[in-house]
C-alpha cells in the first residue's frame, strides 16, 4: 500500500503580502500596487511580483483591495416593481452586461414609492460604484456615485429612453390602416415620464388629424397592470372599435375582460399593447404590440455607467426606436369586413 504525503503541511501558515514582497525582492507597497494598478508598475517588476504570487499561492484579500482602490466592483439597480416583466427584462440585461465587466449587481425594488426610492438610492450609494435607475417617476439623486437613468429623460444624468412618440404613431398607424376610426387610448400613471410623453403625443396626433378620419378617446390614468386593464375594459370599449393599452400587462387584462364579457378579440374589438413582453405571445389571441428594445435598454445603461466609472464622458440621452410586432389581437373593425 502506498502512502502519500500531504501537499501542504497542516501547520503551514497562509502567505501574506509581506511574504510575496520578500520573495520578489520588492517593497510591500509595490506588491499592493501591482495587484490593484498593474499598469503603474514596470513590466519586469510586475512579472517578478506575479511570479512570487503564484509560487507562494498567495490569495489577495479582495475586500481590502477594493477598499484600497475606493471601489466595490458592484453596481446597483433600482426598479419600481421587479415582478413586472418589463422591469425584470431590463434587470436581466443589466446583469448580463455587468457580468461581462466583472461587476456584481445589487437590486432594490421600491414598490413604486418615491420615498422608498430615495432611501434605496441613498443606501445603494454606500455599497456600489454606480447605479442604473429604472425609475419612471422621479429623477434620482445618489450623491457621490454616478447614475444612469432608464425610462426617464434627464438633464442631470445620462439616460436611455424609448421614443414614446414612435410608440403612439406605430400603434395608431397600424389600427388606422386596418380601418379603425374611433380608438380608445388607455393612459398610464400620471407620474410616469413615459406616460406624460405619450399623452402629449396622443394630443398632438389628435390635433393634426381631422376627427372624421380618426377620433381618439383617452381613458384613465390607469395602473400599468393586468388588473388595471381588466378594470378599464368597459370604458375603453364603450364606443371604440380598438384599444391601445399603455403596456402589455394592461392589454392582457383587456383581452381577458373581453373574454369574460363575451366580446370577441379581434372580431368585435382590437387590442394592441406596448413593451414587447414574452407574455404578449402567450395570450389567446396573441397580442399585437409595440415592442421596446428591452435588452438594449439594459445593455446601453451599463455601457453608459461603465464609461462614467472609467472617468469618461457618457453619451447623454440615448433614444431607442420601438418596432411593431403583429399578432392576432388586431384586425379590421366589424363594419369593414
The strand pair at 288-291 and 159-162 is best described as: unpaired
Judgement on whether residues 258 and 183 belong to the same structural domain of the protein: yes
Judgement on whether residues 198 and 329 belong to the same structural domain of the protein: yes
Domain stop point among 16, 39, 62: 62
* Residue 69 within any structural domain of the chain: no
- Helix, strand, coil % over all residues of the chain, rounded to 5: 45, 15, 40
* Residue 216 within any structural domain of the chain: yes
* DSSP for 277-292, written as a single string: -GGGGTSSSPPEEEE-
Counting DSSP H helices and E strands in the chain, the numbers are 11, 12
* DSSP for 125-147, written as a single string: HTT-SEEEE--SSS----TTS-E
Structure pTM? 0.77
pLDDT at 72: 75
Q: Look at residue 319 and give its three-state secondary structure.
A: strand
Residue found by looking up cell 371604440 in the block: 240
Judgement on whether residues 199 and 330 belong to the same structural domain of the protein: yes
pLDDT at 145: 86
Judgement on whether residues 135 and 272 belong to the same structural domain of the protein: no
- List the chain residues with pLDDT less than 70: 1-13, 60-71, 136-143, 211, 336-337
Judgement on whether residues 168 and 272 belong to the same structural domain of the protein: yes
Judgement on whether residues 185 and 278 belong to the same structural domain of the protein: yes
Judgement on whether residues 12 and 144 belong to the same structural domain of the protein: no
**Cα dist from 112 to 14, 223, 228, whole Å:** 49, 11, 15
pLDDT at 289: 98
Judgement on whether residues 170 and 278 belong to the same structural domain of the protein: yes
Residues near 337 by beta carbon (within 8 Å), at least 6 away in sequence: none
Domain stop point among 62, 82, 107: 62
* DSSP for 226-238, written as a single string: HHHHHHHHHHHTS
pLDDT at 139: 67
* Residue 68 within any structural domain of the chain: no
**Calpha distance 139→157 (Å, rounded):** 9
| Contact by Cβ (8 Å): 215, 231 | no
Choose among 77, 62, 157: nearest CA to 124. 77
Domain of residue 116 covers 74-160+294-320
| Contact by Cβ (8 Å): 161, 220 | no
Judgement on whether residues 178 and 207 belong to the same structural domain of the protein: yes
pLDDT at 12: 55
CATH number at 9 reads: 1.10.260.40
pLDDT at 141: 67
Judgement on whether residues 90 and 208 belong to the same structural domain of the protein: no
Order of strands across the sheet that contains 215-219: 215-219, 182-186, 242-244, 270-275, 288-291, 323-325
* Residue 299 within any structural domain of the chain: yes
* Residue 67 within any structural domain of the chain: no
Cα end-to-end distance, the chain, whole Å: 89
What angle is formed at CA 12 by the lines to CA 10 and CA 18, rounded to 5 degrees? 160
**Calpha distance 252→172 (Å, rounded):** 18
Judgement on whether residues 22 and 86 belong to the same structural domain of the protein: no
pLDDT at 11: 45
CA gyration radius, the chain: 27
Count of domains for the chain = 3
pLDDT at 142: 59
pLDDT at 99: 87
CATH number at 97 reads: 3.40.50.2300
- Verify cis geometry, omega within 30 degrees of 0, for the bond prior to 266: yes
**Rounded to the nearest 5°, which phi and psi values hold at 59?**
-115, 110
Percent with pLDDT over 70 in the chain: 89
Judgement on whether residues 221 and 289 belong to the same structural domain of the protein: yes
Amino acid at each position: 500500500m502506498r502512502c502519500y504525503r500531504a501537499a501542504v503541511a497542516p501547520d503551514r501558515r497562509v502567505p501574506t503580502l509581506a511574504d510575496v514582497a520578500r520573495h520578489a525582492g520588492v517593497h510591500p507597497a509595490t506588491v499592493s500596487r501591482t495587484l490593484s494598478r498593474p499598469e503603474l508598475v514596470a513590466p519586469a517588476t510586475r512579472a517578478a511580483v506575479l511570479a512570487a504570487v503564484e509560487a507562494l499561492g498567495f490569495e489577495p484579500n479582495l475586500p481590502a483591495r477594493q477598499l484600497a482602490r475606493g471601489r466595490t466592483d458592484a453596481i446597483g439597480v433600482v426598479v419600481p416593481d421587479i415582478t413586472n416583466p418589463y422591469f425584470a427584462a431590463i434587470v436581466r440585461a443589466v446583469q448580463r452586461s455587468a457580468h461581462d465587466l466583472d461587476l456584481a449587481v445589487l437590486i432594490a425594488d421600491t414598490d413604486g414609492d418615491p420615498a422608498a426610492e430615495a432611501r434605496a438610492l441613498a443606501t445603494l450609494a454606500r455599497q456600489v460604484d454606480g447605479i442604473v435607475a429604472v425609475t419612471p417617476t422621479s429623477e434620482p439623486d445618489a450623491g457621490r456615485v454616478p447614475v444612469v437613468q432608464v425610462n426617464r429623460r434627464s438633464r442631470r444624468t445620462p439616460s436611455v429612453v424609448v421614443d414614446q412618440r414612435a410608440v403612439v404613431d406605430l400603434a395608431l398607424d397600424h389600427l388606422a390602416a386596418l380601418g379603425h376610426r374611433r380608438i380608445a387610448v388607455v393612459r398610464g400613471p400620471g407620474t410616469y415620464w413615459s406616460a406624460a410623453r405619450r399623452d402629449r403625443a396622443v394630443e398632438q396626433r389628435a390635433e393634426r388629424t381631422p376627427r372624421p378620419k380618426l377620433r381618439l378617446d383617452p381613458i384613465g390614468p390607469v395602473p400599468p397592470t393586468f388588473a388595471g386593464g381588466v378594470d378599464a375594459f368597459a370604458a375603453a370599449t364603450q364606443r371604440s372599435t380598438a384599444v391601445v393599452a399603455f403596456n402589455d400587462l394592461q392589454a392582457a387584462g383587456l383581452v381577458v375582460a373581453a373574454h369574460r364579457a363575451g366580446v370577441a378579440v379581434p372580431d368585435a374589438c382590437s387590442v394592441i399593447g406596448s413593451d414587447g413582453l414574452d407574455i404578449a405571445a402567450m395570450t389567446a389571441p396573441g397580442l399585437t404590440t409595440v415592442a421596446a428594445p428591452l435588452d438594449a435598454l439594459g445593455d446601453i445603461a451599463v455601457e453608459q455607467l461603465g464609461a462614467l466609472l472609467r472617468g469618461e464622458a457618457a453619451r447623454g440621452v440615448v433614444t431607442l426606436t420601438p418596432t411593431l410586432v403583429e399578432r392576432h389581437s388586431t384586425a379590421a373593425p366589424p363594419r369593414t369586413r
